[in-house]
Amino acid sequence: MPLAPANGIELEYETFGDSSQPAMLLIMGLGVQLLGWDERFCRMLADRGYFVIRYDNRDIGLSSKIEDGPVPDPLQLMAGDRSSASYTLDDLADDAAGLLDALGIDAAHVVGASMGGMIGQTLACRHPERVLSLTSIMSSTGSQKAGQPKPEVIAALITPLPGDREGYVGALVNMWKLIGSPAYPPDEAELREVLGASYDRSHYPAGFLRQLAAIMASGDRTSAICNIGAPTLVIHGEDDPLIAVSGGDATAAAIPGAKLVRIPGMGHDLPPALWPQFIDAIVENAERAGTPAGAAGG
């Protein structure tokens, strides 16, 4: 996979499909590498006529690590002191814009999951000319009044993971079972394979904490996302214990003309059984935007 210079750092990325087709940028969530966008899902989108790009956010996978930043202090961040955050969602959105620059893409359809949805929203606010359409999946607005996690999920999220491969994979399997879709349980063997591949590719727990600090330091985006003009789709599971469905409700309510799709039995993951529904909805939303000149890959 290649590295691209973006916003003063380097981002590892991979593409699928014909670069002459409209670009679709996939942005993954907190602590999850580009592998979180399953290759089969990416190829399904490419088969619908898009040049699909998945990438590692900074501090995860094979992209640049921000190793000289302060140690995140969650208690300070919750109290409003942002000094221990090395960067914010603004920087992560600027990274995405920089990746489009490096690929010679003027504008793209943007799909973000969880923290990736937050980044996508921020990208559409800071760089509206770069976002043809926006799909925000299992995400929220940053408001403390919506999308709050269940207490047991918070406890699991902040518990340090084992450092060895077997312990790490086992702990994350349990985490995904906790936050995943009750109606669409994962194939555990397949889940273990993906988590093991992620560990082998890059095990860097410090990056998770810095990304979490970025979310906490970025505050409420409700007033900003009210200005998003791109056609917007919001997808959210009704049984999401990490970002409650009220987060999706609030996102759709804030963005003018946004379409909300609530899915019963879906938690905080992307179950393969739902991929056809996701892809149909994403493509339908993208088609609302059309494809201005210069939006395809270079």
What's the residue count for the chain?
A: 298
Q: Is the pLDDT of residue 193 over 70?
A: yes
pLDDT at 297: 58
Could you give all domains of the chain from N- to C-terminal order, each with its CATH number?
3-289 (3.40.50.1820)
Q: Could you tell me which of 215, 248, 221, 244 has the C-alpha nearest to residue 232? A: 248
Q: Is the pLDDT of residue 295 over 70?
A: no
Three-class SS state of 199: helix
The model carries a pTM of: 0.95
Chain segment 101-114, per-residue pLDDT in tens: 999 999 999 999 99
Q: Is the pLDDT of residue 293 over 50?
A: no
Q: Provide mean pLDDT across the span 47-68.
A: 97
The two structure tokens encoding residue 86: 């090395």
Rounded to whole angstroms, the Cα distance separating 280 from 46 reads 12
Q: Give the contacts of 149 (CB within 8 A, at least 6 positions apart).
A: 157, 241, 242, 243, 244
Q: Is the pLDDT of residue 77 over 90?
A: no
- The per-residue pLDDT of the chain, averaged, comes to 94
* Structural contact between residues 146 and 61, judged by C-beta atoms closer than 8 angstroms: no
* Structural contact between residues 147 and 154, judged by C-beta atoms closer than 8 angstroms: no
From start to end of the chain, where are the E strands? Answer: 3-6, 9-16, 23-27, 51-55, 108-113, 131-137, 232-237, 259-263
